[in-house]
Amino acid sequence: MRVLLVIVLTAALAGPAAADAQLDPDELAALPDDGARDAARTLQGAIHREDAAALLGLVGRGSLRIFGRAVGPKALARRLGTTSVSQLIGLSPVRRWTLETPRKGEILIHDQGSGNLPAAVLSRRGGAWRLTALRSIDVEGMPRAVVLVIDRSGSMQGAKLEAAKEAARAAAESLDSADLFAVIVFDAQPFTLVRLQRASNRMRISTDISRLQAGGGTDIRAALVEAWQMLSAIVLKDKHVVVLSDGQSPSAGLADLVDEMRAARITVSAVAVGDEADREQLKLIAEHGDGRLYVASELDEIPKLMLRGVTGK
């Protein structure tokens, strides 16, 4: 009986602790007030218990923006009849959550699975903290997203690649802290060198850029597909891609792809490096992407033209 009692007591005590295990105590304590802390715990508890009623209570009578679209309480209740709370919210019940307060009356929540983008937003409404958005970023607070797509083929080896690194760092430094930034590099295959994150992560971004090394082959299209998929996952008015290349790549399907990117409100500019770059192909990308083509004849022009590609000037 003693053994059984210990087991029961241990399980009972572990319940609340497990529910709070993913909320960092320091971040929780830094929230504005007890109401904010209770709202964060309520959201996490709703996921742990798959408690649709608790989630609906946290939303209240207002609407919940899901990927930028407003969903009212009745529609949300219907949706919760066909999907679980955890699937709807997209926050893991086992990963540690990160709580951020970028501005008064707002809390951004994300976990390792959502990277540096908020999976959920809690806002203060009428004196109470409510769940107001899922996977939705306020356009005013997050005005831009910029993805650089950089050629790392063998012909970029040496001074060209170093200039490209300098250009990427300068591009990141030119952005506001709240902007989003990523770098995709490509040879025969694309690779995400800097995952999409806030430009305020200057040191991390610079460190990731320093790892850029030359490879072999050139396939711009595959890298643009990667950028398209990355930017399609976020809700912003201003999403821009800048391609930098010094070589030639297969053109099949490229125009159609950039047309689809433009239809998704993603603009694309291009920087041609040196005389061997396929300027006609890069011009096609820029024209279909409603962007601009910049031509770097000298290596020291690369950072300046990359900045112009990012700023549109």
Cβ neighbours for 202, distance < 8 A, ≥ 6 positions apart: 172, 173
Q: What is the pLDDT of residue 9?
A: 30
Q: What is the pLDDT of residue 4?
A: 36
Report residue 70's pLDDT band, with 50, 70 and 90 as the boundaries.
confident
Residue 10 has pLDDT above 50, yes or no: no
Residue 131 has pLDDT above 90, yes or no: yes
181/232 Cα distance (integer angstroms)? 14
Least trusted range by pLDDT, from 77-86, 89-98, 249-258: 89-98
Higher pLDDT, 2 or 306: 306
Q: What is the pLDDT of residue 244?
A: 94
Least trusted range by pLDDT, from 118-127, 147-156, 179-188, 269-278: 118-127
For residues 163-184, average pLDDT: 92
The 10s digit of each residue's pLDDT in 185-196 is 999 899 999 999
Residue % of the chain over a pLDDT of 90? 46
Helix (H) or strand (E) holding 171: helix 159-174
Q: What is the pLDDT of residue 110?
A: 80
Q: What is the pLDDT of residue 143?
A: 64
Contact 113/95 with Cβ under 8 angstroms? yes
The 10s digit of each residue's pLDDT in 287-310 is 999 999 999 999 999 999 999 999
203/207 Cα distance (integer angstroms)? 6
The 10s digit of each residue's pLDDT in 234-286 is 767 789 999 999 888 887 889 999 999 998 889 999 999 988 889 999 999 99
Cβ neighbours for 88, distance < 8 A, ≥ 6 positions apart: 55, 66, 79, 80, 134
Bridge partners (DSSP) listed for residue 242: 148, 269
Q: What is the pLDDT of residue 263?
A: 86
33/50 Cα distance (integer angstroms)? 26
Domains of the chain: 2-134 (3.10.450), 144-311 (3.40.50.410)
What is the chain's mean pLDDT, rounded? Answer: 83
Residue 148 has pLDDT above 60, yes or no: yes
By CB atoms closer than 10 A (0-12, 13-18, 19+), residue 198 is: buried
Report residue 91's pLDDT band, with 50, 70 and 90 as the boundaries.
confident
The 10s digit of each residue's pLDDT in 22-69 is 788 888 899 999 999 999 999 999 988 899 999 999 999 888 887 667
By CB atoms closer than 10 A (0-12, 13-18, 19+), residue 50 is: middle
Q: What is the pLDDT of residue 136?
A: 53
60 closest CA partner among 130, 161, 146: 130
Report residue 113's pLDDT band, with 50, 70 and 90 as the boundaries.
low
Its pTM stands at 0.59
